Amino acid sequence: MEPRITLYDKTFVPFISARRLTEAIDRVAEKINADFADARDVPVLLCILNGSLVFTSELMKRLTFPLELACTRLSSYVGTSSTGQVRQTLTLPEHLEGRRVIVVEDIVDTGNTISALSGMLQERKVAEVRICTLLLKPEAYHKEIPLDYVALEIPNRFIVGFGLDYDQIGRNLPEIYVLENS
């Protein structure tokens, strides 16, 4: 990994290597496969753009049961902090009624995004919602919604890479970097 990376006005240092990411994704995929191995339905894997694009593509390659991929887009972040307001900028796919949905998030921070999304999915009368997230900031998360699959827990610091951005840049970094001195 690069010893430091500059994105606009901020400096980031190495935090999670590609190897740790791969191992964590392997583990979480194994759990999901165990839970869905005997599924008679075709669950929907719902990628929350843009952040979870990279995680979703890595995760879905490891899932061994028939599934349907769908995408939606929600955003709550401006710069390095959550605004608390979740905007849906790409509508949910049709045909969700009665389906089991596995939501794939890059990171759960305050939980505003998944809680807003869970509400939208209940309105669509889905059969079940499970949440799968690559990262969780437990110190920031105070919602009741259970997180079914968490690949890695991290402290409450601002990170970029592997799909996560700082003002829309840094998503293409293959590893995760953390804001220096945060």
Label residues 80-104 b or e (16+ Cβ within 10 Å = b): eebeeebeeeeebbeebeebbbbbb
Q: Among ligand IMP, Mg ion, none, what binds residue 134 when CB lies within 5 to 8 Å by partner kind?
A: none
- Residue 32-71 contact track with ligand IMP, rule CB under 6 A, x = bound: -------------------x--------------------
110 forms part of the interface with ligand IMP (CB under 6 A): yes
Sign of CA pseudo-dihedral 73, 77, 82, 83: negative
Phi, psi of 139 (to 5 degrees): -65, -25
Site string for ligand IMP, 67-106 (x = CB under 6 A): ---------xx----x----------------------xx
Active site residues: 109
Six-digit token string for 98: 């009665």
Per DSSP, the chain holds a count of helices (H) and strands (E) of: 3, 10
List the one residue from 112, 130, 132, 176 that touches ligand IMP (CB under 6 A): 112
Residue 66: Cβ-neighbour burial (10 angstroms; 0-12, 13-18, 19+): exposed
111 binds ligand IMP (CB under 6 A): yes
Selected binder of ligand IMP within 56, 72, 113, 118 (CB under 6 A): 113
Give the residue nearest to Mg ion (CB): 51
The answer to whether 31 and 6 have CB atoms below 8 angstroms apart is no
Task: Give the nearest distance from C-beta 52 to Mg ion in angstroms.
Answer: 6
| Interacting residues toward ligand IMP by CB under 6 A | 51, 76-77, 82, 105-113, 158-160, 164-165
